[in-house]
Amino acid sequence: MRQWIWLSLIALTIAAFCAGCTGKSPTESAVTPTDSVKASEAGDSAPTGTPVADAGEAPKKKYADAEEKAAALPPGDEITKAVEDQPAAIEFGDKKAKVKMVAYYPLNEGHAAIAQQLRKITQQHPGKVQARFVNWQNPDGLAERDANKITCGCVVVDGSDAHKITLNGKTYEVLFQRGMISEWQPEELEQAVKQAVEKKYGKA
């Protein structure tokens, strides 16, 4: 009997010691929800590892290639209207300008960004650059393309689609054929035209 009493006292002492180590009484649950889990269940925050979007910021669209940006042409814009009306060509700048730039592409939403780039460049050099976008989706535009022996989309500056440019401290040749961004960059075309302007009009 005395031995049983001693064993009971030892068992209670061990249980009390273990409870002191964990900070919990033997009757408390070993696992309780954390504050972050409670907040998550209440809808106040996302679980750890889940990105939280700013409710006031619209998601940014990612484009497969830069030319797709032209799909969001502003209503009433002259290029938007040209995409709808499909003329043989659309022109920008001064017809008396010494520097001539001609692009040969189908005028659609996928290539309208090139037309926008042509317009931008003529605005950078008022009175000095004329640009023409020849639309080969139009029969007359196609005939003009074929008459100039053009076999693929390109931008011709003063009679050539190949230009040696110096940009960001490097000098190299650019072939302005096929897709903008995929084959050549807008700033490269801008530099080629800038050099052509300086050649015809002198440096500013």
pLDDT in tens, the chain (204 residues): 555 454 455 445 444 444 444 333 333 333 333 443 333 333 333 333 433 334 443 333 333 444 445 455 777 799 999 999 999 999 999 999 999 999 999 999 899 999 999 999 999 999 999 999 999 999 999 999 999 999 999 999 999 999 999 999 999 999 999 999 999 999 999 999 999 999 999 987
Domain boundaries, the chain: 66-201
Q: CA–CA separation, 163 vs 23, rounded Å?
A: 78
Please state at what angle helix 112-124 crosses helix 186-201, rounded to 10 degrees.
30
CATH class of 66-201: alpha beta
pLDDT in tens, 93-130: 999 999 999 999 999 989 999 999 999 999 999 999 99
User: In the numeric block, which tokens belong to residue 51?
Assistant: 């990105």
25, 138, 173, 184 from 191: Cα distances, Å: 77, 30, 12, 12
Return the SS3 of 77.
coil
Tell me how far the alpha carbon of residue 11 is from its chain's centroid. 70
Q: Record the pTM.
A: 0.65
| Residue 78 DSSP SS3 | helix
